[in-house]
Structure 1
């Protein structure tokens, strides 16, 4: 049996490890609401939502070239603006000289490599899944892949940031909302 070809999600020919701002959305499998609930237009995270938020912040701790901007954990999805910025670690494009505690010369010249956006979101989803399952939601899984948009100008940045920050108050109208 031949499987149908999968739609390409990423922009053809674009290097997703390059310095840029990316708007990312990742949904829970079947859009099941597991991260908490919106109460009076505010997101109230439960323990699984706290894990999703914790692991989003983990990205900037784990990868010094990741800068996190606006984000929100919603009942069944996460929106965020993630920036890859080699200058955030203070050495421009050559991360090979950065040691584990910030000192130079500790890593071989071939590492660490800048992860692509897909690799970063994969690390986020993998670690989040592992921790959520360990916390008791054994059937948890993310929807395959994720949505991304390359932010190309300041106007787009502010529009997307405002969308993210206002997401809880617009939850009843959200395309990800699913009544249970």
Structure 2
């Protein structure tokens, strides 16, 4: 959205696809997603974001054979009360949603390439949506949960 700071506190829905929608991450079987080692790598790197950046909270997410859906919350207040020196907290720069997705895509790609799968690539950009209220948040959560069951219709 023009003029909006994507490092602002809030919930964001993201979708990231593999280049040419290649199915690298596993299979949707009977409404469940079964990840292969590349899918597990993507999972590990998604979870790493929350550990690496204290202002990031990961909500509902799913890895599909050829894409990823996730809800990410940026909340700079989350790091308060962690026992860390508050003077240090004030010095950190909040990464924008685009920067966070860049870190996620880069680190997951590098780890997948290390396994020998050099042909793996994410699409250049990603889809994002600012979640404006709790009704929308719950609808998107349900969409993510039902994605494996609806994969053939995606």
TM over 0.5: yes
Task: State the number of aligned residues.
Answer: 154
Cα deviation, residue 23, structure 1: 0.2
| Corresponding position of 1:125 | 105
Q: Which runs of 5+ in 1 are unaligned?
A: 1-10, 92-97, 175-180
| Corresponding position of 1:140 | 120
| Corresponding position of 2:31 | 41
SS of the aligned residue for 1:169 comes to coil
1:172 correspondence with 2:131: no
- Does structure 1 retain, via aligned residues, the 8 Å contact 2:50–2:56? yes
Give the TM-score, by structure 1 length: 0.82
- Does structure 1 retain, via aligned residues, the 8 Å contact 2:14–2:126? yes
Q: 1:23-42 CA deviation, whole Å, 9 max, x = no partner?
A: 00000000000000011110
- Does structure 1 retain, via aligned residues, the 8 Å contact 2:28–2:151? yes
Find the partner of 2:47 among 53, 57, 80. Answer: 57
Q: 1:80-101 CA deviation, whole Å, 9 max, x = no partner?
A: 000001121126xxxxxx8xxx
| Corresponding position of 2:72 | 82
Q: Residues 23 and 34 of structure 1: is their aligned pair in 2 closer, same or farther, counting only changes over 3 Å?
A: same
| Corresponding position of 2:92 | 112
| Corresponding position of 1:12 | 2
Larger radius of gyration: 1
Q: Which runs of 5+ in 2 are unaligned?
A: none
Work out the CA distance in 2 between the residues paired with 1:124 and 1:116: 12
Greater helix content = 2
Work out the CA distance in 2 between the residues paired with 1:66 and 1:75: 25
Cα deviation, residue 106, structure 1: 7.0
Cα deviation, residue 112, structure 1: 1.4
Cα deviation, residue 103, structure 1: 2.6
Cα deviation, residue 134, structure 1: 0.4
Work out the CA distance in 2 between the residues paired with 1:85 and 1:108: 13
Q: Residues 14 and 38 of structure 1: is their aligned pair in 2 closer, same or farther, counting only changes over 3 Å?
A: same
